[in-house]
Amino acid sequence: MERRDFIKTGLITTVAPTLLLANIETIKRARNPIVISTWKHGVKANEEAMKVLFSKGSALDAVEAGVKISEADPTIQSVGIGGRPDKDGHVTLDACIMDSQGNAGSVAYLQDIKHPVSVARKVMELTDHVMLVGQGAKSFAITHGFKEENLLTEESRKAWLKWKMKQGKKDELGPNDDHDTISLLAQDSVGNLSGACTTSGLAYKISGRVGDSPIIGAGLYVDNEIGAAGATGRGEEVIKTTGSFLVVELMRQGYTPQDACREALGRIIRRHGGNPGFQVAYIALRKDGEIGAAAIRKGFKYALSSENENKLHSVKGIIN
Ligand code: GLY
């Protein structure tokens, strides 16, 4: 849908009220579920989210179910169990979730709990707060039945020890290896949008560091009238530009999802003299089902599921 058509749809209130109601009903019935998420591990996450959507579940249930697949997979070293630890060897997790009503929940610096996204959802649904951090978030999780468990797998522990031995020398992790956060956006069969974002954050970060992923408007933003956006990559840069909120606001102004992602990245690129040495990528899902994805550097992939397809797509970097 072009900008003009999208704006035209937005101006549908000029139509007679009965016709408007009929149109909304038609649009609601016609929706095909759609899920988009970051990185290769998004494929399995999308599959799970689609199962929820195909059985007429909500976008909110779908995004939680989807990212929980990545959180539970010990081979994914950037999310949940098996995530790379901080410099002191502690796995600390950040996550958030946002629904179609503008409700949001978030946890940061959470330790020993495998599913931070579900704790974030509990914060959203059971409290009048948005964000819990550290020990407070953990106590809240345990109070609500979450099991305490060791999240540092042997593989991640060995990699961390190797990194410690090499400290000060060349970092073996490339720009695409150290922040493979999963952001997942979904639209359900009645057209509602939701999103979730979860990560173990920057590998070998300073103890206490929190990235963009649990920050509403940075790692994730959902506006059910316009669209949703999610981020991955160097969290500090996403926070400084309120990245996901920016992508959604650009879509509100009429940018296509693709151009909105590119413009949000352009602001980061310009701040770094045109050639940042790190990766940031955005995905976006507009209310009419059109998607966008863009990355600063090559190597970023996103998974897109709609109808019977679930495919991984490569993104050409803006600067290489
Ligand atoms: N984008 C994940 C992080 O920087 O922590």
Category of 307 on φ-ψ map: left (φ > 0), alpha (ψ -120 to 50) or beta? left
Q: Which two tokens stand for residue 45?
A: 């996450």
Asked if pLDDT for residue 24 goes beyond 50, the answer is no
Q: Which residues line ligand 1 (CB under 6 A)?
A: 179, 181, 199, 201-202, 211-213, 232-235
CA 182 → CA 23, 41, 46, 166, distances in Å? 35, 8, 11, 28
Identity of the amino acid at 91: V
Atom of ligand 1 minimally distant from the CA of 210: 5
Cα radius of gyration (the chain): 19
pTM (global) more than 0.95: no
pLDDT of 133-184, one tens digit each? 999 999 999 999 999 999 999 999 999 999 999 875 545 566 666 668 999 9
Atom of ligand 1 minimally distant from the CA of 94: 5
> Which domains does the chain carry?
29-314 (3.60.20.30)
pLDDT of 200-245, one tens digit each? 999 999 999 999 999 999 999 999 999 999 999 999 999 999 999 9
Atom of ligand 1 minimally distant from the CA of 231: 1
Asked if pLDDT for residue 22 goes beyond 80, the answer is no
Query: Which residues are CB-neighbours of 219 under 8 A, at least 6 positions away?
Result: 94, 96, 181, 183, 197, 199, 211, 212, 213, 230, 231, 235, 238, 243, 244
181 is catalytic: yes
Query: What pLDDT was estimated at residue 320?
Result: 77
Asked whether the beta carbons of 245 and 217 are under 8 A apart, the reply is yes
3-state secondary structure of 95: strand
The DSSP-derived string for 165-201 is HHTTS-----TTTS---EEEEEE-TTS-EEEEEEE--
The average pLDDT across 294-317 equals 95
- Report which DSSP code applies to 223: E
The residue whose CB lies within 8 Å of the most ligand 1 atoms, and thus the one to mutate among 133, 178, 179, 300, is 179
Ligand 1 center from residue 59 Cα (angstroms): 24
pLDDT of 255-291, one tens digit each? 999 999 999 999 999 999 999 999 999 999 999 999 9
Element (H, E) at 63: helix 59-72
Q: How many CB atoms lie within 10 A of CB 28?
A: 12
pLDDT of 88-125, one tens digit each? 999 999 999 999 999 999 999 999 999 999 999 999 99
What is the percent of the chain where pLDDT is above 70? Answer: 87
* Reported confidence tier of residue 49, pLDDT bands at 50, 70, 90: very high
Q: 8-17 b/e with 16+ CB inside 10 Å = b?
A: eeeeeeeeee
